[in-house]
Amino acid sequence: MRCIYCNCAESKVVDSRSTDDGTVIRRRRMCVECGRRFTTYEKIEEVPFVVIKRNGSRQTFSTSKILAGIKKACEKRPIPIELQHKVADDVVRELLSTVDDQEVESSVIGEYVMRHLKELDEVAYVRFACVHRQFKDINTFMDELKVLLKEQDETK
C-alpha cells in the first residue's frame, strides 16, 4: 500500500479492526520511509449485478438506488436511518445468496424490498408498493390495502 504522504510503496500494519457489522476491516498503517501513519479500509469486492429494467434496458446494480427508494418510502415515518440501511443491506445479502445469474430483474429486487418493508413499517411498504407495482388507480391501491388488512387480521 503506497504512503499517501511520500508515495513510498512499503508500509506496515500497526493496527487492524473490523467494523461493527464485520464487513470492513480498518487498518492503521505506518510508512517505512517517512514514518507517518494513515488508514486504509479493506472490504469484499461486490460481484456486479446487471439489473434488467421493465423496459428491457440494463443497468449496473447499485445499492444506493435501493437505499434511495427505501428512504423515499420511509420519509416522514419514525424509522431510524440505521434501520433503513439495514433493510438495504439485507436486500443485497438476500440477492447475493439467492440469485444464481449475474442478471436480475428489477421486479425481483422490488419484491425483496417490499417484503422487508412490510415487516418494518406498513405505511412505508404501501408507499413503495405504489411505485413498484405502478398502481393505476385507487382500486388497485385499495386491493393492496385489503390484502394487507387481511394478513394483519390473520396474525391476530
The answer on 74 and 16 residing in a single domain is no
The answer on 39 and 92 residing in a single domain is no
The answer on 130 and 94 residing in a single domain is yes
The answer on 82 and 104 residing in a single domain is yes
- As a whole number of angstroms, the distance between CA 22 and CA 76 comes to 30
The string of pLDDT tens digits covering residues 41-86 is 998 776 678 999 999 999 999 999 999 999 999 999 999 999 999 9
Place of cell 405505511: 123
Q: Which residues, in sequence order, are CB contacts of 150 under 8 Å at separation 6+?
A: none
Q: Distance of alpha carbon 41 from its chain centroid, rounded?
A: 19
Geometric angle at alpha carbon 129, from 106 and 84, rounded to 5°: 80
Give me the tens of pLDDT residue by residue for the chain, a chain 156 residues long: 899 999 999 999 999 999 877 878 999 999 999 999 999 999 877 667 899 999 999 999 999 999 999 999 999 999 999 999 999 999 998 998 888 888 999 999 999 999 999 999 999 999 999 998 888 888 888 888 898 888 888 887
The answer on 124 and 82 residing in a single domain is yes
Domain count, the chain: 2
- Whether 6 maps to a domain, the answer reads no
Q: What is the edge-to-edge ordering of all strands in the sheet holding 24-31?
A: 11-18, 24-31, 37-43
- Whether 38 maps to a domain, the answer reads yes
pLDDT at 23: 79
The answer on 151 and 92 residing in a single domain is yes
- Whether 16 maps to a domain, the answer reads yes
The answer on 62 and 121 residing in a single domain is yes
The answer on 112 and 87 residing in a single domain is yes
**Whole-structure pTM value:** 0.68
Q: Which domain holds residue 75?
A: 50-155
pLDDT at 17: 93
- Whether 71 maps to a domain, the answer reads yes
The answer on 66 and 27 residing in a single domain is no
- Whether 3 maps to a domain, the answer reads no
Contact 44, 23 (CB under 8 A): yes
- Whether 29 maps to a domain, the answer reads yes
